Amino acid sequence: MLVLALDTATPYLVLGLPHAERAIRLERRHAEVLWQELEVFLKQAGVGLKELGGIAVGRGPGSYTGLRVGIAAGLGLARGLGIPVTGIDTLEAVALRYQGPVTVVHRTRNELCYTASYRIEGKQLEVLQPPKRARLGELQPGGLLVVDQPPSGLALARLGQAALQGGRVQVEPLYL
Q: CA distances (Å), 120 to each of 68, 93, 106, 168, in order?
A: 29, 11, 19, 22
In a domain, 170, yes or no: no
| 119 is a domain residue | yes
**CA-wise closest residue to 89 among 53, 125, 37:** 125
Per residue in 5-19, pLDDT tens? Answer: 999 999 999 999 999
82 and 117 in a single domain? The answer is no
Are 68 and 23 part of one and the same domain? Answer: yes
Q: Give me the number of domains the chain comprises.
A: 2
List the CATH number of the domain containing 112: 3.30.420.200
Q: Report how far residue 51's alpha carbon sits from residue 3's, in angstroms, rounded to the nearest whole number.
A: 9
pLDDT digits 0-9 by tens, 71-104: 999 999 999 999 999 999 999 999 999 999 999 9
69 and 156 within one domain: yes
Within this chain, do residues 97 and 84 fall inside the same structural domain, yes or no?
no
Q: Report the relative pairing of strands 54-58 and 85-88 from DSSP bridges.
A: parallel
Q: Which domain holds residue 7?
A: 3-89+150-165
Q: What mean pLDDT is reported for the chain?
A: 95
**Residues 60 and 119 occupy one common structural domain:** no
Q: Are residues 38 and 78 in the same domain?
A: yes
pLDDT in tens, 128-163: 999 999 999 899 888 999 999 999 999 999 999 999
Cα 88 from Cα 122, distance rounded (Å): 19
Quick one: 64 and 125 in the same domain? no
- Dihedral (C-alpha) 97, 119, 174, 47: value to the nearest 10 degrees? 30
Confidence (pTM): 0.94
Question: Both 139 and 156 in a single domain?
Answer: no
CATH number of the domain enclosing 46: 3.30.420.40
Residues 96 and 46 in one domain: no
